[in-house]
Structure 1
Amino acid sequence: MTAALEVHGLRKRFGGVRAVDDVGFTLAIGEMLALIGPNGAGKSTCFNMLTGQVRPDTGAIRLFGRDIAGLPPRRIWRLGVGRTFQVTATFGSMTVAENVQVALMSHHRRLRWPWPRADRLDAGPARDLLALVGMADQAERGCGLLAYGDLKRLELAIALANDPRVLLMDEPTAGMAPRERAALMDLTARIVAERGLSVLFTEHDMDVVFGHADRVLVLDRGRLVAEGTPDEVRADARVRAVYLGDRPPSEAGP
């Protein structure tokens, strides 16, 4: 299995707290890999080390064989890693198309070019990306007027602007209605298949996880406690205990 991303011995402490403790895994090309765990398990810290927001204490992060651990976010982005965020990060005063154009201009290093009409730059590619996520008909709409589900699709288009080989999605369906969640993840799966992307995503909705992930990683208190197919993880007794709430009566509390 060819690896898009390899993580070995990843560790991060905050004072006396081991937020991530000796985590390692592999993300294959074309794979959708879910990272789950209870609140405080270390998912966000792990995610932020992969994208450069947090520097690991120790460990290796290899993107197609190149160690990227400790590189700043912009460098990692330029090496082909896209990211979406749990809370959408868009420019509400711009149109939908302009939001994507800004990302494309940054990717092509055009943000500081002395062009009098920047709104014309990358207009065609921006509309292509919007068509890819089903938002071509909303290109000229103000971003601040979008429904939340449409904001999530717009953010996906923005994350694809740097033509990534690896896409990291932090709680992609947070705040969405059940039908919107399934539609967004179906769209993501289609794009993965068409472009040969590799996706790592965190998620609290178990229907999304078990319905769309090829494999699942489970973190608890900073350590990787289980991994496997959705069926294998669903049947794992320790996963049920630490994450799905199926604890023995002596541990369940009042």
Structure 2
Amino acid sequence: MSVLEVERLVKKFGGVAAVREVSFSLGEGEILALIGPNGAGKSTCFNMLNGQLRPDSGRIRLLGRDTVGLSPRQVWRRGVGRTFQITATFTSMSVRENVQMALLSHHRRLYALVPLAARQYREEAERILDLVGIADQAERSCGVLAYGDLKKVELAVALANEPRLLLMDEPTAGMAPRERIELMALTADIVRKQGISVLFTEHDMDVVFTHADRIMVLNRGELVAEGAPQAVREDPLVKQIYLGAGHA
């Protein structure tokens, strides 16, 4: 079963085509990497899938339902979690409160009385924090956390709406090599156990080739290669792109 189906997606900015006729599908429980050099169109593609940008043409279907034209909030409610290159947390709130806010939204309780909000979904939030390995930091403010731990908070928030699809835009950006390995190993373990489909972009090729079931390569807005990790690694055009000659 395909969780996500993308058909001939196009996005232009002025006269520049950032994404050109991109088509792919993502299976249930599959981890799919989207790679390419800077400016290839990866983030633009992600932002269309998430509802932040509307494609000029093409179709996006999530679990068989068209999502083009939906807002990011509406896409989120369809079962899509998202993490970003730069972490997005409420720094004045505790780690647990960040996850509680996501749970309040998921359960459509954002308009609950503020004095009662801190009491709601505490156990559920703590269960998710334990899942990502930071339950011991539940009371700490996000404003004082190390960057690697902030990435785990963001992952916990993304898991709060019980997603069927997780979009991760450069999840290890800004992290030390050891932290990158640990975060992606943790993420892969969680999503495989829960059957969550993942589409992620990443510049660290060790992370990509270790964890992706399948890899797509984007160059100047076009999908130029797709397949199993070993096949993509040996593709002559992919080698050219990463040697700086992919525009030829």
Alpha-carbon distance, 1:116 to partner:
2.7
Q: 1:34 touches 1:209 (CA, 8 Å); kept in 2?
A: yes
Contact 1:49 1:70 in 2 (8 A): no
Q: Is the contact made by 1:218 and 1:226 (CA closer than 8 Å) also made in structure 2?
A: yes
Residue 156 of structure 1: how far off its partner (Å) = 0.2
Query: For 1:120, what is the secondary structure of its paired residue?
Result: coil
Structure 2 counterparts to residues 24-63 of structure 1, below 5 A: 24-63=23-62
SS of the residue aligned with 2:140?
coil
Indicate the percent of aligned positions where both proteins have the same amino acid.
66
Which residue pairs with 1:161 in the alignment?
160
Give runs of ≥4 in structure 1 deviating > 3 Å. none
Structure 2 stretches lacking a partner, 5+ long:
none
* Correspondence for 1:85: 84
The 5-angstrom pairing of residues 234-245 of structure 1 reads: 234-242=233-241, 244-245=242-243
* Distance across 1 between alignment mates of 2:116 and 2:142: 20
Shift of 1:246: 6.4
Q: After superposing the two structures, state which structure 1 stretch, 156-165 or 104-113, moved more.
A: 104-113
Q: Using the alignment, how far apart are the partners of 2:125 and 2:37 within structure 1?
A: 37
How does 1:1-254 map onto structure 2 within 5 Å?
2-114=1-113, 116-242=115-241, 244-245=242-243, 247=245
For 2:105 and 2:210, locate their aligned partners in 1 and report how far apart those are by CA, in whole Å: 34
Q: Give the secondary-structure state (helix, strand or coil) at the position aligned to 1:151.
A: helix
Alignment partners' CA distance in 1, 2:43 and 2:162: 24
What SS does the aligned partner of 1:6 have? Answer: strand
TM-score by length of 2: 0.97
Kept in 2: contact 1:149–1:180 (CA 8 A): yes
- Give the stretch that moved more between structures: 226-235 or 112-121: 112-121
For residue 112 of structure 1, give the secondary structure of its aligned residue in structure 2.
coil
Alignment coverage as a number of residue pairs:
247
Q: Are the structure 2 counterparts of residues 70 and 185 from structure 1 closer, same or farther at C-alpha, using a change threshold of 3 Å?
A: same
> What is the distance in 2 between the residues matched to 1:209 and 1:194?
19
8 A Cα contact 1:19 1:45, kept in partner: yes
CA distance in structure 2 between the partners assigned to 1:84 and 1:172 by the alignment? 7
Q: CA deviation at 1:57?
A: 0.7
**Counterpart-to-counterpart distance in 2, 1:14 and 1:246:** 24
- Spell out, residue by residue over 1:3-39, the C-alpha distance to the aligned partner (whole angstroms, 9 max, x if none): 1101001001111000100000011111100001111
Secondary structure, in 3 states, of the residue corresponding to 2:5? strand
Whole-Å Cα distance in 1 between the matches of residues 244 and 13 of structure 2? 30
User: Given the superposition, is the C-alpha separation of residues 52 and 121 from structure 1 closer, same or farther in structure 2, using an over 3 Å criterion?
Assistant: same
Shift of 1:79: 0.4
SS in 2 for 1:91: coil
1:245 counterpart letter in structure 2: L
Aligned letter for 2:18?
A
Q: Distance in 2 between matches of 1:128 and 1:29?
A: 24
**Post-superposition offset of 1:194:** 1.3
Q: Deviations over 1:221-243 (max 9, x none)?
A: 1000000111111101111111x
**Letter in structure 2 aligned against 1:146:** L
Q: What displacement does 1:109 show?
A: 1.2
Q: Note the C-alpha offset of 1:70.
A: 1.9
Which residue identity does 1:95 align to in structure 2?
A: S
Structure 2 residue identity aligned to 1:120: R
Instruction: Render the CA deviation track for 1:74-100: whole Å, top value 9, x for unaligned.
Output: 110000000000000001111100110
8 A Cα contact 1:42 1:220, kept in partner: yes
The Cα shift of 1:247 comes to 4.2
Counterpart AA for 1:17? V
